[in-house]
Amino acid sequence: MSEKPVPAPHTNADLDLIKQIIPHRYPFLMIDKVRDIVPNETAVGIKMVTCNEPHFEGHFPSKPIMPGVLIVEALAQTAAVLVGVSMDVIGKELLTYFMGIDKAKFRRMVVPGDCLELHVKALRGGGKIWKFEGIAKVDGEMAASAEFTAMMDLKG
């Protein structure tokens, strides 16, 4: 009797796979893809920042800057995809709730045309409560960093 082959874990998530893991949609889906996924450990989200995003209309009309809270949200969405792959909940709606944000720092403006890299590392996880360290970079330069705790829950 032969055993069923075990599928290789996802190491990358395109937009379609992201939407199978997290419920966020336009205009609040803040990531375009996730790469370098190491289940239960790390992942790198990618956000292509464009002038068409609705927050730039008011933040700020003469000098569009991505709000820091949205950068932290993009880090959290990257972390949620990491958890979704780690817990194998693809196709099941994973809800992610912030429980805390600590040590948030903003060091560089993020503007239209930037490619925002969202590096997340799981500090604690495996169950419903996860803690992460996140660093957002543009051209290798730190734009923002934070530690955050989230509760992961399957809808339903």
pLDDT tens digits along 38-95:
999 999 999 999 999 999 999 999 999 999 999 999 999 999 999 999 999 999 978 8
Is there a domain that residue 35 lies in? yes
What is the average per-residue pLDDT within 92-115?
Answer: 95
Structural domain includes residue 8:
no
**Is the residue at 130 inside a domain?**
yes
> What is the C-alpha separation between 50 and 128, in angstroms, rounded?
34
pLDDT attached to residue 35? 98
pLDDT for res 41:
97
Whether 6 maps to a domain, the answer reads: no
Predicted TM-score (pTM) of the model is: 0.93
CA–CA distance, 10 with 26 (Å, rounded to integer): 24
The closest alpha carbon to 105, from 140, 62, 148, belongs to 148
> Which CATH number covers residue 41?
3.10.129.10
Residue 60 lies inside a defined structural domain of this protein: yes
4 lies in a domain? no
Closest CA to 145 of 41, 56, 75, 52: 75
Number of independent structural domains in the chain? 1
Q: What pLDDT band is residue 7 in, cutting at 50, 70 and 90? A: low
In the numeric block, the tokens 């002038």 are attached to 51
Flag whether pLDDT at 138 surpasses 70: yes
Residues annotated catalytic, as ranges: 59
In sequence order, the 6+-apart residues with CB closer than 8 A to the CB of 88 are: none
Q: Are 45 and 81 in contact (CB under 8 A)?
A: yes
- Expressed as residue numbers, the domain containing 76 is 15-154
Could you tell me if residue 97 is inside a domain? yes
Cβ 132 vs Cβ 124: under 8 Å: no
